[in-house]
Structures are given as C-alpha cells and as structure tokens.
Amino acid sequence: MTGILKAGGYAVLAGVSLAAFTHNAGGGLFKYAFSLLALVIAIRFFRSHDGLGIRIGFVLTAIVFSFIFSLMYSMLALAYGWPLDPAFTETGGP
C-alpha cells in the first residue's frame, strides 16, 4: 500500500512540474528547469520501483495530473486575470 501512495506522490510532483512547464511563457532555461525536474522525479521513482505495472501507472498518472493541473491553472487564470498564453484560450476554427 505504501508503494502505491509513494507512486501517487511522485506522480503528483511530476504532473505539477509538467503543468508548470507547459504554462511557463518565459523563454530561456527557466522553462526547461520544470521539464528537467519532472525527469529527475521519474528517474528517482524508477530507481526505487522495479515493477513494470507500477511504472506504467506512474507515467499515466503523471500525465493525467499534468492535464488536471493545466486545466485548473487555466480556469483560475481566466477567473482572476492572471497571465495566460493565448494558445490555451483559442476556440479553434478559422
């Protein structure tokens, strides 16, 4: 049970890092620090867990958390007037 909770904690951290990477409009190396942080979190998790199922679960859960946190930030940014990349608010179509 603690392995699953640990995997969830690592997945939340990786998801937040990936969401911060996607929403960071500032260029340069600062944006890629979040991507590298997610990579370091994944490497640390993979070193401590050998099972294929828990690794797949970690990756899928991290991706889901990334989408959830990106959606949460986008909604809060629109509600409170925070800076948001226009690509996240486009409705699509010509």
Residue 93 has what pLDDT?
47
Q: What is the mean pLDDT of the chain?
A: 87
Task: Answer yes or no: pTM beyond 0.75.
Answer: yes
pLDDT for the residue 45: 95
Both tokens assigned to 9:
């904690």
Alpha helices, DSSP H, located in the chain: 2-23, 29-48, 52-80
* Angstrom distance (rounded) from CA 19 to CA 37: 12
Q: 56: domain range?
A: 2-88
How many domains does the chain divide into? 1
Has residue 1 got a pLDDT over 70?
Answer: no
Q: How confident is the model at residue 90 (pLDDT cuts 50, 70, 90)?
A: low
Q: Please tell me which residue, 30 or 53, carries the higher pLDDT value.
A: 53
pLDDT score at 11: 95
